[in-house]
Amino acid sequence: MVTCFSKMDNEVMREGNTTVGYEDGRFEDGRKTVGSAAVVVIVGKEEIVVANCGDCRAILCSRGVAIPLSNDHKPDRSDEKKRVEAAGGKILNLNGYRVQGILATSRSIGDDCLKSFVIPEPEVTVYKRNELDEFIVIGTDGLWDVVSNEVTCDVARKCLGQIRRKFSERDSAADAAALLAELAIAKGSKDNISVIVVEL
């Protein structure tokens, strides 16, 4: 997984190395500020493997309990702050903690302008599956900044149960994901919101 994230980072740097022209003749290097967080979840028969880079998140709902499958890479997280500062970077609180006062995550794919401090290396976790596991929710920080793991698990669980009872032919996981995105918007999320629900 670590190798895959590194290859993707290199791909972004290579493909993103384009110049954008403006009518007045100016050019801007597009690759410097292109970046993204990423979380990958692989569901096997016995294990769930999660690789996370940035502030996307994956949680597991098991018998109604929200279990984090990943840890957000926020600049104020003590180990991330130490790593950034050891590389010569600064964590500044400018409308939230940010690397060099710019980026609100301490790991990402891309973001070449901060590459000395912001790394593409994911944290990889392995969770042993059991028969009580119900579903996984994968989302961007647009969800997690305004909706807790516990509320996410509760809302999705209720939605999945109601839809299954009423409409067995509907894609209940997609409906639960849409409901969570709508909840994040209603709670005032200002960031992009992507949500995936995977039933187990």
Tens-place pLDDT, residues 151-176 = 999 999 999 987 555 656 667 899 99
Number of domains within the chain: 1
pLDDT value of residue 27: 45
Domain hosting 142: range is 2-199
Residue-wise pLDDT tens digits, 14-48: 765 555 445 554 445 556 778 899 999 999 999 99
Lowest mean pLDDT among 23-27, 72-76, 87-91: 23-27
Contacts of 102 (CB under 8 A, 6+ apart): 113, 114
pLDDT value of residue 120: 95
Confidence band for 12, pLDDT divided at 50, 70 and 90 = confident
The mean pLDDT value for 106-112 works out to 93
Q: What whole-number percentage of the chain has pLDDT above 70?
A: 86
Packed helices 172-186 and 149-166: angle between N→C axes, nearest 10 degrees: 140
Tell me how far apart the alpha carbons of residues 121 and 118 are, in angstroms, rounded to a whole number: 9
pLDDT value of residue 92: 97
Residue-wise pLDDT tens digits, 115-133: 999 999 999 999 999 999 9
| CB 1, CB 122: distance < 8 Å | yes
Residue 162's CATH number: 3.60.40.10
Average pLDDT, the chain: 90
Confidence band for 1, pLDDT divided at 50, 70 and 90 = confident
Q: What whole-number percentage of the chain has pLDDT above 90?
A: 74
The DSSP H or E segment spanning 125 is: strand 123-128
Q: Is the pLDDT of residue 93 over 70?
A: yes
Q: Is the pLDDT of residue 50 over 80?
A: yes
| CB 82, CB 99: distance < 8 Å | no
pTM listed for this prediction: 0.87
pLDDT value of residue 125: 96
